[in-house]
Amino acid sequence: MARTTPAHLHFGIYTARGAVDPILFVDKKIIKPESVPANPLAGLLKITKPQKGDSLLTGTLLTPLGINSKAYLALHPAGKIVTLPYNTVKLIPKTTTLPAVAMTPKNNGNTL
């Protein structure tokens, strides 16, 4: 194993007759990936726009678990894992102080 070679992938195709040039099987169009937010999992997600047919309320705080080019995968406080498009949430950095919330039957988790 080479000690100075960065991590990389070897791609090969083999038949009963031996190795085949894999370039014949690779899409030659180069597609630039869509950008994702910097440090996308550092903090909490606050719902700013509820999605149609969704029961998540504006202001609900969720824990980000993962991302793709279009949405966050997040954990709802009730334990449900949801997918949230970027334009429906705001990332709250870890350094932001959040208001105290007490869950009681009277206030349903409203800010104190």
What residues contact residue 65 under an 8 Å CB cut-off, 6+ apart? 41, 72, 73, 74, 75, 81
- pLDDT tens digits, 13-65: 888 888 888 777 777 777 776 666 665 678 899 999 877 766 778 888 999 99
Asked if residue 71 is part of any domain, the answer here is yes
Residue ranges making up the domain that contains 71: 44-92
Helix then strand then coil, in percent of the chain rounded to 5, is: 5, 30, 65
Asked if residue 13 is part of any domain, the answer here is no
Which amino acid does the sequence have at 83?
Answer: T
- pLDDT tens digits, 88-97: 999 888 765 5
Residue 64 contacts residue 45 (beta carbons within 8 Å): yes
Asked if residue 112 is part of any domain, the answer here is no
Find the CATH number of the domain harbouring 54. 2.30.30.140
What's the number of domains the chain is made of?
A: 1
